[in-house]
Chain A
Amino acid sequence: SQTIHQWPATLVQPVGSPLSLECTVEGTSNPNLYWYRQAAGRGLQLLFYSVGIGQISSEVPQNLSASRPQDRQFILSSKKLLLSDSGFYLCAWSVRGDEGAFFGQGTRLTVV
C-alpha cells in the first residue's frame, strides 16, 4: 500500500535561517506531488506542484523553493526564513484522478 512520510512534525527556526522539509512517498510510481501551506486565516494555499523529476510549478511568488531530486521525493527549501513563513506545511501526492490526493501529517513551522 502507498504511504507518505513528512518530517519533521514541528520545527522552530530563527529568522534568516535556512529551511529544508522533506516528503517521501512509498508504494507508487510517478506521482504528482504537492506542497501546501496553511497560515492563520489564509486557508489552504498551493505552493508547488510537480508532475515529474525536476518538473516544478510555482503557484505563488514567495521566499520558498522546491526540488524533486527523485521520483518519490519532494523537498521544500528556503535560504533565509521570514516571520511570514510560519505556518502548517502539508505534502500530498496523487496519481489517478478518481483517487483524489493523499496527505502527509504536516509540519508545524514557527519562525521566531
Chain B
Amino acid sequence: AQSVTQLDSQVPVFEEAPVELRCNYSSSVSVYLFWYVQYPNQGLQLLLKYLSGSTLVKGINGFEAEFNKSQTSFHLRKPSVHISDTAEYFCAVSGTGGYQKVTFGTGTKLQVIP
C-alpha cells in the first residue's frame, strides 16, 4: 500500500517569488509520482509526472519537481509565481504495474499575493 503526505495545507507567497510545495510518499514497491493542479470548481489536471530516468521533471506552466528516493520526496517548485498559479495542488503516487491504484495527498492551496 502507498500513502502520500502533503504537510502544508496552505502556502501564501508573493507574486514573482519562488515557491516549493512539499510532498512525501510511502511505498514498499517502485512508484510513479505525479503532481496535479485544480482550479476552482474544476477537476484535477496533470501538471507533471516522474516515471523513471532524470530525477528532475519539468511540467506545464513553468513548474518542476525533483524525485528524491532516499528522502521519499517529490517536491514541486516554481522559481517565480504568477497570480494565475493560485490553485490547489495535489501530489499522487502509483505502483509501477498495470491496473494500479493511484493514491492522492490531501492537497496544498497555493495563494499568490499581488
Contact = CB atoms under 8 A, between A and B. Distances in A.
A48 B18 CA distance: 36
A106 B42 contact: yes
Contacts of B43: 90, 92, 103-106
A97 B44 contact: no
Interface residues of B, number: 28
Interface string A31-72: 010101000001111100101000000000000000000000
Contacts, number: 74
Given A100-B32, A100-B46, A101-B92, A108 B101 contact: no
Interface residues of A, number: 26
A42 B109 CA distance: 12
Nearest to B103: A46
B98 to A, nearest CB: 6
Contacts of B49: 98, 100
A68 B26 CA distance: 29
Contact of B106 (A44, A92, A96, A103): A44
B106 A49 contact: no
Nearest to A91: B43
A5 to B, nearest CB: 12
Given A32-B99, A46-B104, A51-B99, A94 B94 contact: yes
B92 A100 contact: yes
B30 to A, nearest CB: 9
